[in-house]
Structure 1
Amino acid sequence: MLLSPDVVRRVPKVLLHDHLDGGVRPETVAELAAEIRHDLPVDDPADLGRWFADAADSGSLVRYLETFDHTVAVMQTAEALSRVARECVEDLVADGVIYAEIRYAPEQHLEGGLTLDEVVEAVRAGFEEGMQAATTPIVVRQLLTAMRHQARSMEIARLAVDWRDRGVAGFDIAGAEDGYPPTRHLDAFEYLQRENAHFTIHAGEAFGLPSIWQAIQWCGAERLGHGVRIIDDITIDDDGNAKLGRLASYVRDMRIPLEMCPWSNVQTGAAASIEEHPIGLLTALRFRVTVNTDNRLMSGTSMTREMSSLVEAFGYGLDELQWFTINAMKSAFLPFDERLALINEVIKPGYAALAEPGPGAR
């Protein structure tokens, strides 16, 4: 019998790849837009939520990214940023998340006159408020993102280092991959390495193996944002045996985490369906696979939905979900002792309790 969505909701979860501006509540978008007189395609919050999902469900990463124009527009004041951050924590708690790294691009939130530091402080305040009010313990950290088509990556990298003891776990670059290789930002990555700072890179989502290769071998990425196109370096012979190419072997051998976001990949055309998503093969081959939401608003998703979809598509049980969760916790940009404590004191006991025989356990 497959795990029920209720059981999946209750398992402890770790989220490494989630965009703050991609997870705003539709009601909040509508309220904040009305305050600043920003025109939305539809006004009713329920209809607005459907519009975001439909507009993002285009098969095009470029079109998918256009939906962010509206969420970013309403996140230009400290009050709005803190509210969105606080509500993000509330929603994650309700979804069973016990640790999360939430990413956003500070450079996109300056139109209201905020400085970069004020943006980070506003998000920090919202996360802190959310964590303190949480009904169950949760740890939330920021990942500061630079946009790969802009030229502010060094500035954002320095910002991430300046704030790393105040709630910022690391750095990222995001945006359309094609035409904007990660090596354009090599100086920022070299600076982060010299500063012993953590970073992940969006790579292998809409663009293929060269993007992944550059992210790892040129830029030194500790994790791959998506990384789904690593499947292009794996062939299956007539007997069903997998043969890994040099890059895929390196990624697996080095245990480089893949921040996989199944429903987002289906929306942007990186995968045809959940059943055909490379996560099934990559899990079977024991890559360091993690499960993530990417953009909860645009994909109409949650960690519960992502994991439940994998349960339905591949028949995964508690063992597999715990494996994904521990993979993610091992890969978090959090000090080792803190990661170990969450694994041993929260994740393993949480899964063990659900595995005990009883009504509704399965």
Structure 2
Amino acid sequence: MRVVPIPTNRPIARFDDIDSVYGTEDAKYAALIADVKDRHAHGQPILIGTTSVEKSEIVDELLTKANIPHDVLNAKNHAREAGIIAQAGQKGAVTIATNMAGRGTDIKLGRGVAELVGEAEEKEHHYNGLAVLGTERNESRRIDNQLHMDAFETELYLSGAYDHMNAILEFHPGAGGTEAHDWAGMLFRMYTKYCDSHGFKYKVLDYQEGEEAGISSATLEVMGKNAYGLLKSERGVHRMVRLSPFDAAHSRHTSFASVNVMPELDDSVDVEINPAEITIETYRSSGAGGQNVNKTESAIRIIHHPTGIVVTCQVERSQMQNKALAMNLLKSRLFQLREKERQEKLNKINGVKKDIEWGSQIRSYVFQPYTMVKDHRTEYSVGDIQKVMDGNLDGFIDMKKKEVNIESLLEVSLI
């Protein structure tokens, strides 16, 4: 098997300086701040990697005393994470990062920085490109490796024909009544929080409230670069375990809700819909997105008789706009069904026995008697469940990337 350097899609000007060793912590940090001050004066973007929040706070305090403007990237700044990362490669930016794993793909060099990288081999490279500095031995090298590997993984994982498209998410509670409806509503909130923290815009296409809590169904359109590629691995059944707030005895309940993820297709994808095979119905809008228009029958329901697929849309004021959105949603559902059937045929031909059913259970969220979120496909788990429910899904998505990429590389190596 031939081994090639990764990534291969573009040249990389990379310079690896030897580690500097100091006799005391004070001397080490003094040298670090002096280096940052010098590079910052020349406009070079700087990423300072630390191994703990405590060390980040030390560097934060020292940079503040030195009057060097900077950002701190850690769990405390989760809500600002996307914005901080987006600016980390800009001219003059200084960023402290407790852990860069999974974040390197979003760092892009700004104007006045990227132009210098190509000249780095012909001139003094000290102030060119992104400077990666570490507070511990080999830390800068570890982060630098992570940055390159993250970029490669994302390029491979997001190389599908439809990964660049917007995404459509559908939420449906499983059996269990109020408890399941509430869980579906919690998942709906979790993904809107993910969108907020990653710069994605979203629109509620349909929202049906549960009788007592949560939702009976909802559809969300997520708009932004690679929205489908990033969210496609979230398709499946999500399981919750907790002491029910709706049970007088507060007994332990297990609830399920499904999340379906589809690409929002553009005109480049042809899906034929025979008008004779669909029924279009109108009804009054209700719930989120429909409060302002529930006096008229502006909401649309489309039934596709050959497949039994039913789609609804009530977000717009006009019946015509809702009809157009509902037709696009039906197009995505039919495309997904077609792709599923195609994949099943390929698996049968190739002798692959793989569970590709979108309804398979993918993740468990345990609130009591302990807190844990565990992905059953990758075995990745975290204990801070509230952080996950607030939209921090990066760890799960990154681990799924690694799994998919390893499978892809193995398939390539066997060809």
TM-score, length basis structure 1: 0.31
More helix by share: 1
More strand by share: 2
Name the larger-Rg structure.
Answer: 2
**More relative contact order in 1 or in 2 (CA 8 Å, sep 6+)?**
1
